[in-house]
Amino acid sequence: MTTPTTGSNPDSHSDVPVDAEPAVTLYPQDDGPTLGATSAPVIEVDGRLFKDLARTGTLLPYEDWRLPAAARAADLASRMSLEAIAGLMLYSPHQPVPNPGVGPFAGTYGGRPYPEAGVPAWALTDQQRAMLTADHVRHVLVFTLQDADTAARWNNAMQALAESEPLGIPVNTSTDPRNGAAEASGAEFATSAADVSRWPEGLGMAALFEPDRVAEYAAIISREYRALGITTALGPQIDIATDPRWMRLQDTWGPHSGLVADYTRAYCDGMQTTPDGTGAAFGLTPGHADLPPTAVSYADPGWGGASVSTMVKHWPGGGTGEGGRDAHYGFGKFAVYPGGNESEHLRSFDAAFHLDGPTGSAGAVMPYYTISWHYRTPDGKVLNGEGAPTPPRANAYNRAIVHDLLREGHGFDGVVCTDWGITADPDPEIDHFGQRCYGVEDLDVAGRHQLAIDNGVDQFGGNSEAAPIIEAYRRIVARDGEATARARFEASASRLLRVFFRAGLFENPYLDPAGSTAVVGCEPFTAAARAAQRDSLVLLKNRRAVAVSDDAADDAAPVLPLGTDVRRVWVPTRHVEAQPGFMRGGEPARDIDPFDAAASPYMRADTPQEADAAVVFIESPLSNPYSTADRDAGGNGYLPLTLQYRPYTAATARPRSLAAGDFRETGDRAYRGKTNRAANATDLDAVITARESMGDRPVVVVVRMHNPAVLAELEPYADAIVVDFGVQQRAVWELLAGDFEPRGLLPITLPASMEAVEAHCEDLPFDYAAYTDAAGHAYAFGFGLNWSGVIDDVRTRRYRNR
**Residues 170 and 225 reside in one and the same domain:** yes
Give the chain's mean pLDDT.
92
Arithmetic mean of pLDDT, 427-453: 96
Arithmetic mean of pLDDT, 471-475: 98
Contact (CB, 8 A) for 137 and 125: no
> Is residue 554 over pLDDT 90?
no
Residue 389's pLDDT is 83
Tell me the residue range of the domain where 436 lies.
Answer: 65-524
Residue 192's pLDDT is 57
How far from each other are the two terminal CA atoms of the chain, in whole angstroms? 62
Tell which of 460, 495, 524 closes a domain.
524
Arithmetic mean of pLDDT, 681-705: 98
Q: At what angle do helices 729-737 and 523-536 cross, to 10 degrees?
A: 60
465 in a structural domain: yes
**Residues 518 and 541 reside in one and the same domain:** no
Residue 12's pLDDT is 37
400 in a structural domain: yes
**Residues 361 and 476 reside in one and the same domain:** yes
| Residue 604, H or E segment | strand 603-604
List Cβ neighbours of 433 (8 Å cut-off, separation of 6 or more).
328, 329, 427, 582, 583, 584
299 in a structural domain: yes
**Residues 440 and 564 reside in one and the same domain:** no
Measured in whole angstroms, the distance separating CA 747 from the mean position of its chain's CA atoms is 18
Among 237-246, 545-554, 737-746, the least confident range: 545-554
**Residues 480 and 558 reside in one and the same domain:** no
The CA distance from 681 to 315, in Å, is 35
Contact (CB, 8 A) for 63 and 49: no
**Residues 496 and 641 reside in one and the same domain:** no
**Cα dist. 365→257, 362, 664 in Å?**
18, 8, 30
Arithmetic mean of pLDDT, 55-59: 98
542 in a structural domain: yes
Residue 183's pLDDT is 55
The CA distance from 627 to 425, in Å, is 23
Q: Per-residue DSSP letters for 490-552?
A: HHHHHHHHHHHHHTTTTT-----HHHHHHHTT-HHHHHHHHHHHHHH-EEEEES--S---GGG
pTM of the model: 0.95
531 in a structural domain: no
List Cβ neighbours of 797 (8 Å cut-off, separation of 6 or more).
none
pLDDT tens, position by position, 485-525: 999 999 999 999 999 999 999 999 999 999 999 999 999 99
**Residues 276 and 399 reside in one and the same domain:** yes
Contact (CB, 8 A) for 641 and 243: no
Among 12-21, 637-646, 659-668, the least confident range: 12-21
Residue 280's pLDDT is 34
Strands 309-315 and 538-542: unpaired
The CA distance from 153 to 124, in Å, is 10
Residue 296's pLDDT is 64
pLDDT tens, position by position, 186-215: 334 445 556 899 999 999 999 999 999 999
pLDDT tens, position by position, 670-683: 999 999 999 999 99
604 in a structural domain: yes
Q: Give burial (CB, 10 Å; 0-12/13-18/19+) of 687.
A: buried
pLDDT tens, position by position, 85-104: 999 999 999 999 999 999 88
> Is residue 121 over pLDDT 70?
yes
Q: Which segments of 123-177 does DSSP mark as H helices, in order?
A: 126-133, 148-163
**Residues 299 and 427 reside in one and the same domain:** yes
The CA distance from 701 to 690, in Å, is 10
Give the per-residue SS3 of 480-493.
HCHHHHHHHHHHHH
Contact (CB, 8 A) for 25 and 38: yes
Count of structural domains, the chain: 2
Query: Please, which pLDDT band fits residue 282 given cuts at 50, 70 and 90?
Result: very low
Arithmetic mean of pLDDT, 157-164: 98
Query: Please, which pLDDT band fits residue 567 given cuts at 50, 70 and 90?
Result: very high
**Residues 468 and 426 reside in one and the same domain:** yes
Residue 544's pLDDT is 83
> Can you give the CATH number for the domain in which 138 is found?
3.20.20.300
**Residues 517 and 557 reside in one and the same domain:** no
78 in a structural domain: yes
Tell which of 492, 524, 556 closes a domain.
524
**Residues 615 and 474 reside in one and the same domain:** no
Of residues 434 and 549, the one with the higher pLDDT is 434
Among 14-23, 369-378, 553-562, the least confident range: 14-23
> What are 592's strand-pairing partners?
574
Tell which of 472, 493, 524 closes a domain.
524
740 in a structural domain: yes
Query: Please, which pLDDT band fits residue 15 given cuts at 50, 70 and 90?
Result: low
Residue 551's pLDDT is 47
Query: Please, which pLDDT band fits residue 801 given cuts at 50, 70 and 90?
Result: confident
> Is residue 572 over pLDDT 60?
yes
Contact (CB, 8 A) for 219 and 199: no
> Is residue 105 over pLDDT 70?
yes
**Residues 482 and 628 reside in one and the same domain:** no
Nearest to 796 by CA among 549, 587, 538, 596: 538
> Can you give the CATH number for the domain in which 558 is found?
3.40.50
Nearest to 784 by CA among 542, 529, 618: 542
Query: Please, which pLDDT band fits residue 11 given cuts at 50, 70 and 90?
Result: very low
pLDDT tens, position by position, 211-267: 999 999 999 999 999 999 999 999 999 999 999 999 999 999 999 999 999 999 999
